[in-house]
Chains A and B, each alone.
Chain A
Amino acid sequence: MPLAKRIVPCLDVTCGTVVKGINFLNLKKAGDPVELAKRYSDEGADELVFLDITASSDNRDILRGVVEGVARAISIPFTVGGGIRNVSDARLVLCSGADKVSVNTAAVENPQVITELADVFGQQCVVVAIDAKRRHEKAESKITVETREGPVWFEVYTYGGRKPTGIDAVTWALRAVELGAGEFLVTSMDKDGTKDGYDIELTRTISEKVNVPVIASGGAGVPEHFVEVFTDGKADAALAASVFHYNQYPVPVIKEFLRKQGVIVRP
């Protein structure tokens, strides 16, 4: 059997609590990241992503506690991102039990950090997160993709989607691979929160150009969206938050659907 496609629930954490849309039943403490991680892991999630959305320095000790708690509770891999700017930030979460770190703004502002992290911890530990938005106006020297809406290019945003950079996401991904990125977490800002499906063109363009795995993010609403992003979108993994949090489509339901559609997933 070939490598299975991964289903990756994402948990947004602030001050030690999961904040985005929690609607689990039978949880003692709604929003407890350790309990949620355990639940997803038991349900058959292949990997987890934690995003520390406060990411302030006073929050560091709390984050370390969360990471360590999760590492003790589950035996599947997990990535931690949010506010990781250098080797010492990364060391803190990796030595607390995370398997990978994701870098976003820090990597755009100082691409060399990708190489530094890869040199110390190995390429497989370094996930480069890219938040991107479609741009319809013509621009020279940008990689343009044909879509149903006509030709577009994808602009990288930093600071949690607040700051446009003018950088083309596909070109950035290619550069990041050269610098030592081991995986990409590609979030479509157009699709995020819409439950309208992943940005297939964005995912596919990056996945076809880079020779490392790509996690698609933003837009998952129904099981068909997962099938689409794995087949047409050529994603290696699909991340989602609200479909899982609200227990609308638990992980086993998504996986069963994928299996019936011929997508290889871990039982």
Chain B
Amino acid sequence: MPEAVIFDYGVGNLLSLKCALEKVGLNAKIGVSAQQLKKADAIALPGVGSFSAAITKLDAVKETLLAAVESGTPLIGICLGLQLFFPESEEGPGKGLALFEGKNVRLRGEVKVPHMGWNTLRIVKQNALFEGVADESYVYFVHSLYPVPTDKAIVASETEYGATFTSAIASKNVFGTQFHPEKSGDIGLHILENFAKIVKR
């Protein structure tokens, strides 16, 4: 069974993601070491914690992580995990992984923050992660910031909440969701199953 390493920033619920990845046929391990990341068949950056704290934890393994992604290891970033793909965030100081250009900004306008609950995906780019996922599917969100990628070609889906924001990205072996697939019922599991298929290719 391919091994997926969930990077542990040191706070919050990682068990749900671990269980979900196991359900879709990945041997999910929670880890922090460069060695674990190096031999992983897939890497997941989970969605709990804050930008600055996560960056501090990630710093020690940043080079290894970037090298693994460069060599083709599938990477999925969830919520904060997706936001870490970008160099900066309005949430706090620190430099993200800078896999893509852009930045993370706060939700503003006449809406309640955090954006918490089930909202729909408008799929703007078909990709392996969304295979068999219907447009306007409901997924679970809980976040106060969202990424604004400079290169719109990586945007896989958008969602409406106060403004239209990027709710998923896909680019080669790198995938990111602003929503939580591990908390999004059957649709979420289907998306993670697609990720597992990508890993097994």
Q: Which chain B residue shows the least CB distance to A44? A: B185
B19, B113, B117: which contacts A211 (Cβ < 8 A)?
B113
* Interchain CB contact under 8 A, A72 and B140: no
Residue A167 interfacial (CB < 8 Å): no
**Sample (22) of A-B pairs whose CB atoms are under 8 Å apart:** A3-B119, A75-B20, A75-B184, A75-B189, A76-B183, A77-B140, A94-B12, A94-B13, A96-B15, A99-B142, A121-B11, A121-B48, A123-B114, A123-B144, A124-B143, A124-B144, A125-B48, A183-B116, A211-B113, A236-B117, A237-B117, A266-B118
- Asked if A41 is at the interface of the complex by the 8 Å CB criterion, the answer is yes
- Chain A residues contacting B49 (CB-CB under 8 Å) are 121-122
- B2-43 interface mask toward A, CB cutoff 8 Å, 1 = contact, 0 = none? 000000000111111001100000000000000000000000
If A3-B161, A76-B183 touch, whether A71 touches B117 (CB-CB below 8 Å) is no
Tell me the complex Cα distance, A123–B106, Å.
14
Q: Is B160 an interface residue (CB 8 A)?
A: yes
By secondary structure, the B interface counts as: mixed
CA of A237 to CA of B116 in the docked complex: distance in angstroms?
A: 10
The interface bits of chain B over 89-123 (1 if a CB of A lies within 8 angstroms of the residue's CB, else 0) are 00000000000000000000000111111111000
> How far is B162's CA from A211's CA once the two chains are assembled, in angstroms?
13
Nearest-neighbour CB distance to chain B for A14, whole angstroms, equals: 23
Residues of A contacting B15 in the complex (Cβ-Cβ under 8 angstroms): 68, 71-72, 95-97
Question: Is there a chain B Cβ closer than 8 Å to A182's Cβ?
Answer: yes
Instruction: Write out, one digit per residue, whether chain A residues 102-137 have a CB within 8 A of any chain B CB (1) or not (0).
Output: 000000000000000000111111000000000000
A residues in contact with B16, CB < 8 Å = 71, 75, 97, 99
- Asked whether A223 is an interface residue with its Cβ less than 8 Å from the other chain, the reply is no
Q: Count residues of B near A (Cβ-Cβ below 8 Å).
A: 36
Residues of chain A within 8 A (CB-CB) of B142 are: 77, 99, 124
Additional 5 contacts, C-beta under 8 A, given A4-B119, A41-B185:
A1-B119, A72-B15, A72-B19, A75-B184, A99-B142
Residues of A within 8 A of B180 (CB): 77
Min distance, Cβ A18 to any Cβ of chain B, angstroms:
21
B138 part of interface (Cβ distance < 8 Å): yes
Is A267 in contact with chain B by the CB < 8 A criterion?
yes
Which B-chain residue is minimally distant from A41 (CB atoms)?
Answer: B185
Q: Does A46 contact B (CB under 8 A)?
A: yes
Among B12, B14, B185, the residue within 8 A (CB) of A121 is B12
Min C-beta distance of B107 to chain A, whole Å: 11
Q: Are A76 and B140 in contact, with the CB atoms below 8 A?
A: yes
Q: How far is the CA of A96 from the CA of B141 in the complex (A)?
A: 20
What per-residue 1/0 map shows which CB atoms of B135-174 lie under 8 Å from chain A? 0101010111000000000000000110000000000000
Interface residue ranges, A against B (CB under 8 Å): 1-4, 6, 41, 46-47, 68, 71-72, 75-77, 94-99, 120-125, 182-183, 211-213, 236-237, 266-267
Contacting residues, chain B, for A213 (C-beta < 8 A): 112, 114, 116-117
In the complex formed, the residue of A with least CB distance to B79 is A124
Please, how many angstroms separate the alpha-carbon atoms of A125 and B48 in the complex?
9
Instruction: Name the 3 nearest CB pairs between A and B, nearest first.
Output: A97-B15, A266-B118, A266-B138
Asked whether B13 lies within 8 Å of A99 as measured between CB atoms, the reply is yes
B176 to chain A, nearest CB (A): 18
> Please, which residues of chain A bring their CB within 8 A of the CB of B118?
3-4, 6, 46, 266
Q: Tell me which residues across on chain A come within 8 A of B160, comparing CB atoms.
A: 1-2
Docked complex Cα distance between A99 and B183 (Å): 9
Q: How far is the CA of A121 from the CA of B9 in the complex (A)?
A: 11
Closest-by-CB residue of B relative to A267 is B138
Give A2 to B50 CA distance when docked, in angstroms.
26
On whether the beta carbons of B114 and A124 are closer than 8 Å, the reply is yes
B117 touching A4, Cβ below 8 Å: yes
- Contact partner of A1 (CB less than 8 A), chosen from B120, B144, B188, is B120
A142 → chain B, closest Cβ, in Å? 25
Which of A6, A71, A99, A122 sits near B50, CB closer than 8 Å? Answer: A122
CB of B183 within 8 A of CB of A75, answer yes
Would you call B182 an interface residue if the criterion is a C-beta within 8 Å of the partner chain's C-beta atoms?
Answer: yes
The distance in angstroms between the C-alpha atoms of A71 and B16, with both chains bound, is: 6
